[in-house]
Chains A and B, each alone.
Chain A
Amino acid sequence: MKAGGRLEALLERGEFVVTAEVGPPKGASSKGIRSHAALLKDFVDAINITDNQTAIVRLCSLAGALHVLAEGAEPVMQITCRDRNRIAIQSDVLGAASLGIKNILCLTGDHQSFGNHPGARNVFDLDSIQLISMLKGMRDEKRFQCGEEMKVEPRIFIGAAENPFADPLEFRAVRLAKKVAAGADFIQTQGIFDLERFHRFMEAVREAGLHKRVAILAGVIPAKSFGAMKYMSTVPGMSIPRALLDRMKAAEKPEEEGVNICVELIRELRKVEGVRGVHIMAVAWESIVPTIVERAGLLPRPQAALPA
């Protein structure tokens, strides 16, 4: 085992894993995260804590991850390259590992122009692939990015994101290959609605043998309303088929239909060779996750025997 966490243990055992996402609050309260973690902990195997998602200032992902740990759930701490340079990130990684955080997801980060401090200066000292590679170097070679050695290395299970729907499409599998080569242990994808395009992506992934070298968790996003789905369809790098939009539009109970679609997608994704789990992104609708997991037939969640 690389890090000895629950997510890693379950994947190693060949379980189909379930992760979810919780966005920290725009304030100094631990309540929301704690209650969400408590709510989700028996329904998912790990909980992602976002890092100032969409460049809006929120409680930091390290603290958020600790709140998740304190509730007895396993966090996936997200780190973006937008706000911190290699010095700050390595320091955070050491701190996180010392506090028992086992999983880190490496992201480029949304540009600050999307957020609530568009006048901020960004960092982007590293890109997400270099971030993955730096973590791997720290863990496997006990070296800082500069090459210097460290005594106690951070035992981290390294995650990365991939968007099968962004342009240039033909480059997406190549980019995934780069992430795998850099040292990614698991991948969480962008929310999938367009199964046809996802199938094509996975074909390229299998052709390159990447599915054997990295655990791919397929991302899903439950839509609460037609408006929400419509909005998502305009976000760069999202692909939502007309038929799904029509279904949501026609639905008498849109929330139910959103869940139906999400559950159907999970059932389909589960059949795809190389998909080792799902990542449910229900930010601001975390309470729906247990229902989705149950209806997708993913209960009970398996127990992991972890090293003491």
Chain B
Amino acid sequence: MIVAERKPMEAVASLVAPYERILVVGCGECVTVCMAGGEKEVEVMASALRLMRGKEGRPVTVETETVQRQCEPEYLVPLDKKAEAAEVILSMGCGVGVQFLAERFAQRWVVPALDTKFAGGVREAGVWEERCGLCGDCVLHLTGGICPVIRCSKSLLNGPCGGSHGGNCEIKRETRCAWQLIYDRLKGLGRLELLTPVLPPKDWSTARDGGPRQVVREDARL
């Protein structure tokens, strides 16, 4: 899933400070699961904004709505009326959601309440961790299902750097060294031979380096 985190409350408040009619829009997918922008967080946000502005003596009208997905135009249709009435739309979706809202509501100012972090998952309750760098050419079959592109701080494809220590990455003690994980797993599976060949430079044109990407599926087009 896409993992996001709410911006500091003061930062969010300043984004909507000039406005008196705010629509806060949540999303029912990833950001609900990572507890950043689902229905619950939307309500908390709305109350917090009302409270802050009330204290400042500049009361606001805050409407809320949580759609199933912000990243698909058809799910945004039910927002039309509320969007029309608002001066600003505060999206609690990921960066994708914010942009889809901005596209649909061309006449409205749309701002992000979240910082979109990474593609990852839950490691343990309350801890989300990055797992995929969205490189567009997956190499997990070569590395035992552990991503060297994003989980190694230097995206090394041919084994650990000289700083791997005690299973941790040199840059942060709390970050596991991806190459230690890869080594341990391949060793456990008796597949260490996968680490012998020199992997050639990756073709990054499939990643963000190739420019904004699109996936087109002819069979799914109308």
Contact across chains for B170 and A178 when beta carbons are under 8 A apart: no
B57 part of interface (Cβ distance < 8 Å): no
A259 part of interface (Cβ distance < 8 Å): no
> Beta-carbon contacts of A185-205 to B below 8 Å, as 1s and 0s?
000001000000000000000
CA distance A237 to B177 in the complex (A): 13
Nearest CB in chain B to that of A189: its residue: B162
- The residue that B157 contacts in the complex, of A82, A130, A162, A237, with Cβ under 8 A, is A130
CA distance A163 to B160 in the complex (A): 10
CA distance A181 to B196 in the complex (A): 10
CA distance A86 to B202 in the complex (A): 11
- Given A130-B200, A133-B200, A237-B170, A168 and B180 contact (CB-CB distance below 8 Å): yes
Contact across chains for A167 and B198 when beta carbons are under 8 A apart: no
List which B173-190 residues lie within 8 A (CB) of chain A: 177, 179-180, 183-184
> Beta-carbon contacts of A119-146 to B below 8 Å, as 1s and 0s?
0001011111110011000000000010
Contact across chains for A237 and B158 when beta carbons are under 8 A apart: no
Find chain B residues with CB under 8 A from A109 CB.
154
Find chain A residues with CB under 8 A from B153 CB.
111
Contact across chains for A237 and B171 when beta carbons are under 8 A apart: no
- The main secondary structure of chain B at its interface with chain A is loop
A108 part of interface (Cβ distance < 8 Å): yes
Find chain B residues with CB under 8 A from A175 CB.
158-160
- A190 nearest CB across to chain B (Å): 6
CA distance A167 to B159 in the complex (A): 11
- B197 nearest CB across to chain A (Å): 8
CA distance A241 to B168 in the complex (A): 21
The 8 closest A-B pairs by CB, nearest first: A163-B162, A236-B165, A129-B158, A236-B170, A127-B156, A236-B163, A111-B171, A168-B183
Binding site for A on B (CB under 8 A): 153-168, 170-172, 177, 179-180, 183-184, 192, 195-196, 198-201, 204
**A-B residue pairs in contact (CB < 8 Å), sample of 20:** A86-B201, A108-B154, A108-B156, A109-B154, A110-B163, A114-B171, A127-B158, A130-B199, A130-B201, A162-B162, A167-B160, A167-B165, A167-B177, A168-B179, A171-B179, A174-B195, A177-B196, A178-B159, A182-B198, A236-B164
